[in-house]
Structure 1
Amino acid sequence: MTRNRIKEVAYKQLAEKGYDQATLSSIAKEVGIKTPSIYAFFKNKEDLFMAVYKDLLEEYYLHIKRSIANFKNGSAKEKLYQIVKELCNYYLSQPEKTAAYTKLAFYLPPTLNDKVKNIFNEMEEMLFEVLETIFSEGIEQGIIKDQPVDDLIASFNCLMDGLFLELLFYTEAKFRRRAEQVWNIYWNGIYKEH
């Protein structure tokens, strides 16, 4: 329980203050423990924030996988669109987590870059199998152009990464409009016309 509370306070402080200003002492104070108690759960500040980063990504990817499960009988287009829609909904409905994720992804000390990349790649693998199935089925059904599945997955991941960045710059209404526009262009690019 204390471990989870520490991580919860850490991501909230990260969202508000950024990595440098979210100190172990300020986290401990808000949790209601002494700073050395944090070391019973985490080696250091880096270890704590890498655990927070992993949790944020894992929660997002599990959310996506659950939402796709509701569309198991849907077409490839419906499943891919559901992922895009859920990306938008998830990040818009979780502003504190989105801010924390952003700060972990873009504003960390360079010494943590490799750790962040490793965690990101590990978490992205969770979605790889889902996307591989969707694209393979779409190709077999003649809905998606016959292209290497790895290429299709890479392009879809770039679409999602781009949408995430758009989220940082636009109002919700403009972001949703742009997400629809980009989705339509993307789908038209991979759709196999009959």
Structure 2
Amino acid sequence: MTKDRIIEATIRNFAEHGYQGASMRKIAENAGIKPASIYHFFENKQKLFIEAMKVILNHHFSSMKETFEQYQRDSLYILFSELLNRITHHHTSNQEETKAYVLMVNSSIPDIKEEVRNHLETYDSWLVTQLMKIIVIRYPHLDTEEIKEIIDYFIFLGNGLFWGIIIYEEDDIQRNLKQATYLMKQYLIEKLGSDTVGG
């Protein structure tokens, strides 16, 4: 579909050239269409970039949901480990999207930061709600603040992994993942006992 090709070309061009360098001409050329054809789908460059950002964010969200659904019945440690693994795998497997995301967030595109904030609020709300449900059922003795602390610790490690992917090479990224998984395990054992690492 032409619209999808335009979005893909936008992400590719933004990752390579940044905000100033990703022109409508280059995007159209990459998508195999005439520049004027873009305006049949997008009112202007800003709208196109915001739509591209939404695609990147939704791709990540879908990836995390899929992992959550697959491992939600496993031990809490396995669930957290697989989510951390998916953060790493998703961003290393989609390097153009990841690079474009970082450049877009730091660009002067009007409304882009608000778009990202809104998405992150939706994503965080989904993640916290799903994890709260599981932890409440499995550990009814924990109060809400204790559960939030566990979830916050996971989010902290996940954010660290993401920014590590931006900065480091593959060997370091894998070492960071191993360390994050280990830290999550130790934290869960300390807070919940050794049964959290079981099957």
Give me the TM-score of the superposition, normalised by structure 1.
Answer: 0.85
Q: Aligned pair in 2 of structure 1 residues 54, 97: CA closer, same or farther (>3 Å)?
A: same
* Aligned-CA RMSD value: 2.3
Indicate conservation of the 8 Å contact 2:84/2:158, yes or no.
yes
1:60 aligns to what? 60
Indicate conservation of the 8 Å contact 1:19/1:104, yes or no.
yes
| Structure 2 unmatched ranges of 5 or more | 195-199
Alignment of 1:156-167 (within 5 A): 156-167=154-165
* Greater mean alpha carbon deviation, residues 58-67 or residues 147-156: 147-156
1:108 partner SS: coil
Cα distance in 2, alignment partners of residues 20 and 68 from structure 1: 37
Q: Aligned pair in 2 of structure 1 residues 182, 147: CA closer, same or farther (>3 Å)?
A: farther
2:91 aligns to what? 91
Identical-pair percentage: 26
Amino acid at match of 1:81: S
- 1:31: how far off? 1.9
Indicate conservation of the 8 Å contact 1:7/1:51, yes or no.
yes
Deviation track 1:23-49 (CA, whole Å, cap 9, x = no partner) reads 112111222323232122112111111
Deviation track 1:122-151 (CA, whole Å, cap 9, x = no partner) reads 3444434333334434533x7xx6552444
Cα distance in 1, alignment partners of residues 8 and 150 from structure 2: 35
Alignment of 1:14-33 (within 5 A): 14-33=14-33
2:178 aligns to what? 180
1:109 aligns to what? 108
Task: Give the number of the structure whose residues are more often helix, by fraction.
Answer: 2
- 1:121: how far off? 2.6
Give me the TM-score of the superposition, normalised by structure 2.
Answer: 0.83
Indicate conservation of the 8 Å contact 2:67/2:83, yes or no.
yes
2:197 aligns to what? none
Indicate conservation of the 8 Å contact 2:80/2:184, yes or no.
no
1:165 partner SS: helix
Q: Aligned pair in 2 of structure 1 residues 57, 124: CA closer, same or farther (>3 Å)?
A: farther
* Greater mean alpha carbon deviation, residues 31-40 or residues 163-172: 31-40
1:20 partner SS: helix
Indicate conservation of the 8 Å contact 1:12/1:100, yes or no.
yes
| Structure 1 unmatched ranges of 5 or more | none
Paired residue total: 190
Indicate conservation of the 8 Å contact 2:46/2:109, yes or no.
no
Amino acid at match of 2:62: L
Alignment of 1:27-46 (within 5 A): 27-46=27-46
